[in-house]
Structure 1
Amino acid sequence: MEFSEAQKEALSCTRCALCHSRTQVVFGEGPLNAGLFIVGESPGFNEDREGKTFRGASGILFERLLDSIGLAKERVYTTTLVKCLPPGSPPRNPKPSELGSCRPYLMSQLSAVDPKVVLALGEAASRLLTGRKESLRKVRGRAIPLDGRYVVPTFSLGDALYVPADRALLISDFSRLPELLDAERPATYGTHNVLASPESDREPAQPGLF
């Protein structure tokens, strides 16, 4: 599916029941030549209200993380696995069938942007984008070469907001993105662990990020 066709279809999509819980579709935003492509799980209340990705407290953390590596949000393509707010307070996790319904839209976005680095935020994004069944804690922080790009699984912004240890590791993972963006596209399909130091030597959370 071409990008323009996917965007047009998604904005009025009724493929799954999430169309009944949304206020508006949150398709994604950013330049189609972005080197960094960031994928969350689903829109939250603030995203659903504004029709844009990563708003509210998560959005503040996200922009501070980007600032910490000298990257403006306008230079990054951001989206989510599903494009509509799941029901519940707080919203429940998307069901497998809902992830499957939105998958063609995500694949269209990836194809159009063709980023060098994909950052997968959270367990569901990690598994869908890497095809790996290992838990996020086993694979996070790695750069996994797939389809000529690096996929980097890490914690979701929501988890990082409430778990200081996860926030410290998320900050660490963000700090390594410039290295990957400056690297050549991968020519192999093996796993390359980009961590420069053992887990026990990780740097603490940087003050002032959140």
Structure 2
Amino acid sequence: MDFAEAQKEALGCRRCGLCHSRSQVVFGEGPLNAELFVVGEAPGFNEDREGRTFQGASGMLLDRLLGSIGLGRDRAYLTTLVKCRPPGTPPRGPKPAEINSCREYLMSQLAAVDPKVVLALGDLASRLLTGRKEAVSRIRGRAVPLDGRFVFPTLSLPRALYTPADRALLLSDFGRLPELLSAERPATYGTLNIPGGETGAREPAQPELF
């Protein structure tokens, strides 16, 4: 499935039960020639309302982190493992079957953008994109050469929002991205075969960003 076909199908997707908890599909955004590809877990309250990735406090934190290395969000492709908001306030994490339902969309995005660096935010994105089972807290900040690109696992934005120590670690990890973005693509031919495996609620209060 090519990018245009994936986007068109995703916007009306009913592959899993998340179609019942969303207001709208949040497919992703950014230039298709971006060298940095950022993958979060799932849309939240603000993303579901706006139809855009990484909004609200998490989006503000991401903007500041990107700014700390001289990038704007207009120079990265931003997306999530699943394209619809899971139910609950706050939303629960996506289930394996839901992630698998969106797998083809994510692979189409990766193929179209062909980034040099894939930033995997949080445990689910880290495990899916690196193929490793360890918690992201154990492997964060280490670039994994895979499919001719670097997969770089780090902590999730919501986790960093609520824990100052994790926020400092996330900032430190972002500091490594310029080095990876300026490096040659890794000389690896290994391929990761990724396994197929309530709207309108009031947004919870969120803490200061830094």
Q: TM-score, with normalisation over the residues of structure 1? A: 0.90
Amino acid at match of 1:135: A
**How far has the Cα of 1:72 moved from its partner?**
1.1
Aligned to 1:112: 112
Deviations 1:132-174 (Å, cap 9, x if unpaired)?
A: 0111111100000000000000000000000111111100010
What SS is found at the alignment partner of 1:23? coil
Moved over 6 A (4+): none
Deviations 1:36-59 (Å, cap 9, x if unpaired)?
A: 000000000000000000000001
What SS is found at the alignment partner of 2:49? helix
Aligned to 1:18: 18
| Matched residue count | 193
- Give unmatched runs, 5+ long, in structure 1: 191-207
**How far has the Cα of 1:188 moved from its partner?**
3.2
Q: Equivalences for 1:55-204 in 2 at 5 Å?
A: 55-188=55-188
Deviations 1:99-123 (Å, cap 9, x if unpaired)?
A: 0000000000000000000000000
What SS is found at the alignment partner of 1:127? helix
Q: Which has the higher contact order (CA 8 A, sep 6+)?
A: 2
**How far has the Cα of 1:209 moved from its partner?**
6.1
What SS is found at the alignment partner of 1:120? strand
Identity level (%) = 76
Distance, in Å, in 2 between the alignment partners of 1:27 and 1:135 is 26
Distance, in Å, in 2 between the alignment partners of 1:85 and 1:66 is 24
Amino acid at match of 1:124: L
- Give unmatched runs, 5+ long, in structure 2: 191-207
Deviations 1:6-44 (Å, cap 9, x if unpaired)?
A: 000000000000000000000000000000000000000
Q: Does 1:27 align with 2:30?
A: no
Aligned to 2:5: 5
Amino acid at match of 1:153: P
Distance, in Å, in 2 between the alignment partners of 1:33 and 1:161 is 29
Distance, in Å, in 2 between the alignment partners of 1:89 and 1:44 is 9
Distance, in Å, in 2 between the alignment partners of 1:28 and 1:37 is 10
Distance, in Å, in 2 between the alignment partners of 1:90 and 1:21 is 12
CA RMSD of aligned residues (A): 1.3
**Conservation of the 8 A alpha-carbon contact between 2:57 and 2:209:** no
